[in-house]
Chain A
Amino acid sequence: MHIPDGFLSPTVWVATDVAAIAAVGLAVRKARKEIDDHLIPLMGVTAAFVFGAQMLNFPVIGGTSGHVLGGLLTALLVGPNAAILVMTVVLFVQAFLFGDGGILALGANILNMAVIGAWLCYWLYRWLAKVWRRKWLAAIVAWLSVVLGSIACGLEIAFSGTVPLFTVVPAMAGIHAVIGIGEALVTVSAFNFVKRLRPEILQW
C-alpha cells in the first residue's frame, strides 16, 4: 500500500506532507513524556519486526499479494505516539533506500499507515474495548486498520484527479479487505505471544 511518486497531484502530496509533518511533530511532543529506558530498545525491535513483516508478501486472490502493515500491533507494543515514530522510521527507510513508496508521497504513506493504521486504530481499539469483549477485538481492529488505510489511499489518489472516487476507493477497500485477514491473523498471533511472554509491556 506504499504510494509511489507520480500517483498524487502536487496539491495532494503537499497537503499530506504538511499533515504528516504536523502529526509526527505532535507525536514527538507527546512521546517525550512516554518514552522511558525500557521503551527505547522495544521501539527498535518493533521497527525491525514491521520492516521484516512488510517484506514478506503473501498471495491473496486474483493474482494479487499483500503484506502485514503492523500499525496496530506497533501501537499496542509501544503506545500510539511512539508507534507513529516507529512506522515513520520504517516508511522513511523504505522510501529513501529501497524506493518502496515515493519520497513526495511519504506524507501520504505516513498518514495511511502510521497515523490511521497505528494511532487512530489504537484509540479505536481502546474505545471499543470498553464496550466489547477483547477476545476478537485486536483481530477486528487490525483488519480495519488495513481497510481504513486503503480507503485513505484511494481518496488521496481520487483527489489527485486521476481516477474517479467511486472506482478507486471500492477497488482499494475490496482487495485490502482480503489482505486485512492476514493482518488480523499476524496481529493476534503476535499479540497473544507477547501477552503470554511479557504482558507488562502491552499498552492495552
Chain B
Amino acid sequence: MQWRRTWWLIVAIIAGITVILLPFASDLPDGLERVAETLGLASRERPILTPPLGNYSLPGRERFIGMLIATIIGTILVTALAYWLAWMVKRGGEGLSW
C-alpha cells in the first residue's frame, strides 16, 4: 500500500500549503458577493440550515484557528468522499450493465 501512502502525503502537502497561505487570503467579498452588495441582492440571502462549520470557522474558536481546523477537516473529507465516489462508480461499472 505504498502508493496509497504517497497519495495521502500529496493531500497532506496540499493541506499544508493551504494552511500556510491562509493568513494571506483576502477577506474582501468575492465577485458574486460584491455584485450582490452593489445590486441590493445581499439581503435576500436565506440559508435553509445552519452548517456545523459555517463560514469556515469553529464556534468559540479564534478565526484563524477555526479556519485552520476547517481546512484540515474539509481537505480530508473531500479527498475521502471523492475517493469513495470514484471507487463506487468504478465498482458499479464492473458489476452493472446500465
Contact = CB atoms under 8 A, between A and B. Distances in A.
Given A29-B98, A175-B31, A97 B52 contact: yes
Interface of B is mostly: helix
The range of chain B's interface size is 35 or more
Nearest to B76: A48
B48 to A, nearest CB: 5
A43 B29 contact: no
Interface in B1-46: 3-4, 7, 10-11, 14-15, 17-18, 21-22, 24-32, 34-36, 38-39, 41, 44-46
A35 B35 contact: no
Contact of A93 (B18, B74, B90): B74
A98 B78 contact: no
Contact of A44 (B11, B15, B34, B49): B11
Interface stretch (A14-22, A84-92, A124-132): A84-92
A10 interface: no
B72 to A, nearest CB: 10
Contacts of B29: 63-65
Contacts of A63: 28-29, 34
A6 B45 contact: yes
Given A35-B89, A57-B25, A64 B31 contact: yes
Contacts of B49: 103
Given A6-B46, A41-B4, A28 B89 contact: yes
A153 B32 contact: yes
Interface string B59-98: 0000000010011011101111111011101101100101
Contacts of B75: 48, 51-52
B78 to A, nearest CB: 4
A146 B98 CA distance: 34
Interface stretch (A115-123, A135-143, A164-172): A164-172
A56 B22 contact: yes
B71 A52 contact: yes
Contacts of A6: 44-47
A89 B78 contact: yes
19 contacts: A3-B32, A4-B46, A29-B98, A32-B90, A39-B86, A40-B90, A41-B4, A47-B79, A50-B78, A55-B71, A56-B21, A57-B28, A89-B78, A93-B78, A97-B77, A103-B48, A172-B35, A175-B34, A179-B31
By Cβ-Cβ distance, the 7 closest A-B pairs, closest first, are: A32-B93, A6-B46, A52-B18, A47-B82, A44-B83, A99-B51, A65-B26
Given A1-B30, A40-B83, 9 more contacts: A36-B90, A41-B83, A45-B14, A48-B15, A57-B28, A62-B34, A97-B73, A99-B51, A171-B35
